[in-house]
A and B are shown apart, each in its own frame.
Chain A
Amino acid sequence: MNQPKKHSILKTIGLDIGYSNKTEKTIITEAINIEVHEGELVAVIGVNGVGKSTFLRTLSGVQDALEGKVLVKNEQIQQIGSLELASLVSLVLTEQPISKNLSVFELVALGRQPYTNWIGRLSKTDLRQIKKSLQNVGIEDLQNKKCYELSDGQLQKVLIARAIAQNTPLVILDEPTTHLDLYHKAYVLKLLKKLTRKTNKAIVFASHEINLAIQLCDKIILMQNNSVTTGSPKELLESGAFATVFPEGLIVFDKASASFKINP
């Protein structure tokens, strides 16, 4: 056990997530305690409407926590200035009104905005980072294409490259595999895995691809109605946590193959 201790990148303590307005609070999930270390690939799994997106928004500081703390690199997220936070956490979101008239290079270059001067001029360091992230994601040949020329899978890779160019220790992705076919789903998740190994970033993503996540992730955050279970896929398999993910009947978890099957 001589392994060097891994640094904590993201930690929540007694976190309650949900929505609040002037009169009332709607708590979606209570008392979430998780910890993510550098170089880890973490999947957030749960059925539709269980609060995955709310959870990720709270983790990235877009939405305020109802109760409890979110710590990024051991610092409370509310106390981090917006520009500093931009150098700690980068996002990959779906269904954003992104201008498709941007070239791939320009879009990836926007990841460098927190570091550029008032007019957004790219320095040598910026150009090097952009080139490196294009290489890491394997889309160098696309860099002069316009975004409207890309397929959904290619665009997803470009958005990931943009987040990598932002050069943050934590990358959060909201359902990066929607609209993709099985091959590209696997490709994107494999790519994320490769990026955690190569860059030592912590990557947290929400996904419905349980079967793929079990095979690839270091850790799974399993969100169910008002309870959150965390562990490595192996731990969760052994504790039988997957059995209760979906409502009983239609889909069952097959322990032997470690995957979900339709109940015949």
Chain B
Amino acid sequence: MQSQKYVLPLLLLFIGVIILVFLNISLGSVNIPFKDVFASIFNLEVSKETWRYIVVEYRLPKAITAIITGSGLAISGLLMQTLFRNPLAGPYVLGLSSGASLGVAIVIMGASVFGGAFAGILLSKWSLVIASSLGSLLVLIAVMLASLRLRDTMAILIIGLMFASLTAAVVSVLSYFSPAAQLQQYVFWSFGSLGDLSWNEVGILAMFWFVGIILAISCIKNLNTLLLGEQYAKSLGVSIQKNRLIIIIATSLLAGSITAFAGPIAFVGLAVPHLIRQIIPVNNHSILVPAVILGGAALMLICDIAAQMPGQEYTLPINAITSLIGAPVVIWLLVRKRKFLF
């Protein structure tokens, strides 16, 4: 069948991701020889015990977080674009990230505003994840309800943007009243970061990611049907309501949990599906879904390598790097091909 010819690009993408993982782990502010990096991963003799610690406790979880965030956000972007049949849709544009931000802002800053009794319970990592997922779920449901009434995809995007500015306003009010320490904690969270996660937290994130990705894969066939629009999908026996619900749950699990752990990372969700469509000109989701997963992981690994600036002490905010690297690439690809494939 036709899908056979896309096996090679998928394989190349996969190999690319593997290479990037090794590059990502090998590069960092401390120079560790390749040999010792390998040795630490595979639990062999390492020249310096601190190197092993850096690789196993810091770089490896960071690389895995990069893979999870990149692929998760990219998939949620793809799901939104197909569900709304709109190339501009993505977790950020539709206000999902803002919803998650609002949840986190309420937990971090609201704890001090609303009084100390909750503060202890509220500030655990779990509560951040739950608040953030709930925040994005709420916004997504609101956008979805609006879309049921409106049926016009442009209006849906505008509503998403309205929700984004609404939640941003609430966050501003919260930050105005909250003490400097909490405010700083929130601002650092909003820069985005891949590196602060312990193995435990990576495990939690991976669990959410896994459920979200499985749900996305279970929708592949219906996603393809949705490429014809909802009326055709319905006439082909797809239960629109059920399908919508699954896609919404998958998206908010992915976008919500990732935003909670790694901060509101812009751009990846919107851009990766377009990048992939330019490289592999196909809209069949049984190819697009794995390609977008791999592409998202690859982009995030590259951005993370750039963010930690090998040989330097500084680490730049990942949120800035994704756009700095990704935006020119998308613009270049679109201008070069002159054809917008959607």
Contacts and interface: CB of A to CB of B under 8 A. Distances in A.
Partners in one complex: yes
B278 to A, nearest CB: 11
Nearest to A113: B236
A182 interface: no
A110 B224 CA distance: 8
Interface string B263-286: 000000000000001000111101
A101 B337 CA distance: 14
Contact of A166 (B218, B236, B277, B284): B236
B235 A110 contact: no
Given A82-B237, A90-B235, A101-B277, A119 B228 contact: no
B97 interface: no
Q: Which of A86, A99, A102 has the largest count of B CB atoms less than 10 A from its CB?
A: A99
A86 B231 CA distance: 12
A102 B229 contact: no
A211 interface: no
Nearest to B234: A62
A96 B221 contact: no
A89 B237 CA distance: 10
Contact of B236 (A86, A101, A148): A86
Contacts of A83: 237
Contacts of A119: 220-221, 286
B228 A86 contact: no
Nearest to B342: A101
A56 to B, nearest CB: 11
Interface in B286-342: 286, 339, 341-342
B47 interface: no
A264 interface: no
A249 interface: no
A97 interface: yes
Contacts of A100: 342
Interface residues of B, number: 29
A256 interface: no
Interface string B63-102: 0000000000000000000000100000000000000000
The 9 closest A-B pairs by CB, nearest first: A86-B237, A120-B221, A83-B237, A96-B229, A99-B227, A97-B85, A91-B235, A101-B283, A101-B341
Given A103-B2, A119-B286, A114 B232 contact: no
Interface in B222-253: 224-225, 227-229, 231-232, 234-239
Q: How large is the interface on A (under 10, 10 to 19, 20 to 34, 35 or more residues)?
A: 35 or more
Contacts of A114: 236-237
Interface of A: 60, 62, 82-87, 89-91, 93, 96-103, 105-107, 110-111, 113-114, 116, 118-120, 122, 127, 146, 148, 166
A113 B221 contact: yes
B285 to A, nearest CB: 9
Contacts of B214: none
Q: Which of B234, B237, B238, B342 has the largest count of A CB atoms less than 10 A from its CB?
A: B237
Nearest to B282: A101
Interface of B: 1-2, 85, 153, 218, 220-221, 224-225, 227-229, 231-232, 234-239, 277, 281-284, 286, 339, 341-342
12 contacts: A62-B231, A84-B237, A87-B237, A91-B231, A91-B232, A91-B235, A101-B281, A101-B282, A113-B221, A118-B218, A119-B221, A127-B1
Which DSSP category, helix, strand, loop or mixed, fits chain B's interface?
Answer: loop
A244 to B, nearest CB: 32
Contacts, number: 85
Given A106-B284, A120-B220, A120-B221, A96 B235 contact: no
Contacts of B225: 110, 113
B164 to A, nearest CB: 24
A222 to B, nearest CB: 26
B228 A98 contact: yes
B228 A118 contact: no
A93 B232 contact: yes
A180 B280 CA distance: 32
A87 B235 CA distance: 9
Given A99-B342, A118-B221, A119-B221, A85 B228 contact: no
Nearest to B220: A119
B239 to A, nearest CB: 6
Nearest to A57: B231
Contacts of A146: 281
B89 to A, nearest CB: 12
Contacts of B283: 99, 101-102, 106
Given A101-B277, A101-B283, A105-B2, A93 B231 contact: yes
A195 B221 CA distance: 29
Contacts of A118: 218, 221
A110 B1 contact: no
Contacts of B341: 101
A150 to B, nearest CB: 14
